[in-house]
Each structure stands twice: as structure tokens, then as C-alpha cells.
Amino acid sequence: MVSSQPAVADELAIRDALQRYCRGLDRRDLEMALSAFHTDSMVRHGLFSGTGHDWVRFVLSAPVVDRIGIGEADPALDVVESQQHHVTNQLVERHGESAYSEAYFLEHTMCRRGDKRYLTSVGGRYAERYERQHGQWRIVERYAVRDWDSVTAIETRFPGWEKSPQGTRDRTDPSYWSGQAGLVPPPVDRAGLLT
């Protein structure tokens, strides 16, 4: 009987690369998001076409503005307060040192423009090619497909929302803590890097 363990380990490594990309964008963790792509990767996201590393740097560039845009307005005015990427169905077909993947995603972003808040939602798919280079499965080609999107003005919030722990888009977020109850988050410098 042939063992399927290497194939399972490869699929998990491929899925892990995509999860690092999503978490990296959501937490504004440049190093983590870059780790999903090989340096020679090519990406097509909407009007953007370039390397995966250039894409990540573009999205996470300072000031903290993610160029989402609401309607015809200048997207540089949209300050992102929070963001979540959800990867749902993912089909991976491995062929030696290459693999092809289609992964469905949902992206929800809370934006602020002046004193108004908006929730942008996108449903789409990442059509990707991965390669194992130097023992690492990473993205070498991506075509981001948008199936639908919407923008909703946020008039009210859930009662008592301010009493819940709030996520942050940097390394002070609880996901970087050890997970032990009561642990004080580690000190972070202005760039969001652990000190």
C-alpha cells in the first residue's frame, strides 16, 4: 500500500501558505504576508499586475490606507479599521513540484471616511499555482477573481461592542500572544514589530 502522507503534508503546506497571506494582510504583518510568495511570483489583482511581494507591499504601504475605495471616491481617503479574510473551499491538485489551487475567499473590511463607517464585502477566488522551491511550497502565480462585492454604510453597532476585546491590525493583536489567559501583550514598536 502506498502512503499518502507526503501528499497530505504537501497539501497542508500549500494551505498554510495561503493562511499566512490572509493573516499577514489582516494583521498588517509584512513578513508573514510575504512568506506566502516566492520572490519570482506573478500576481494579478484587479488593476494590479506584478510580483506577489510588490502586491503585498502595495497593500500594506504606509500610511495605513488600503486603497479600497467606496464608490467613485478617492480610495486613499478610506482608513481601514479592521479586516478579515476567510478562505473556504480549496481544491489542490499536485503535480510533482508544482500544484494548482482554486480557493474561495470572503473579505470583509471595516473602513472609516471622516466620521462615517462602511463595511466592504468581497466574494471571490484565488486561482493559483504553487511550487516547491528549496523545500518550501509558496505561490508563484495568482489570478484573483472577483465574483461579487458590496459596500454597506454602518449606522449602528452591536450593543456593548466596546466591552469586548478588540482586534488590532498589528502585532499587539491577541493572536500574537501565547494564548495563556491573563498574559500581557508583548511591547511593540511603532512599526508593529515585537521589541
Judge whether 22 and 28 are in contact, CB under 8 Å.
no
Highest mean pLDDT pick, 44-48, 56-60, 139-143, 190-194: 139-143
The proportion of the chain whose per-residue pLDDT surpasses 90, expressed as a percent, equals: 52
Q: How far apart are CA 170 and CA 85, in angstroms?
A: 15
Is residue 99 predicted with pLDDT exceeding 80? Answer: yes
Phi/psi region, residue 81 (left: phi>0; alpha: psi -120 to 50; beta: rest), is alpha
- C-alpha cell of residue 48: 494590479
Q: What is the CA radius of gyration of the chain?
A: 18
C-alpha to C-alpha distance for 89 and 123, rounded to whole angstroms: 12
Residue 195 — pLDDT band, cuts 50, 70, 90? very low
Q: Which letter does DSSP use for residue 188 in this model?
A: B
| pLDDT band for position 100 (cuts 50, 70, 90) | very high
**What does the pLDDT average to over 68-93?**
80
Written as nine digits, the cell of 148 is 461579487
Range(s) within the chain of domains with CATH label 3.10.450.50: 5-155
Average pLDDT over residues 166-183: 73
- pLDDT of 194 reads 47
Question: CA–CA distance from 159 to each of 81, 110, 152, 163, 166 (Å)?
Answer: 19, 17, 19, 9, 14
Q: What's the topology of domain 5-155?
A: Nuclear Transport Factor 2; Chain: A, (3.10.450)
Mean pLDDT of 5-31: 92
In the predicted model, is pLDDT for residue 178 greater than 50?
A: yes
What pTM was estimated for this model as a whole?
0.83
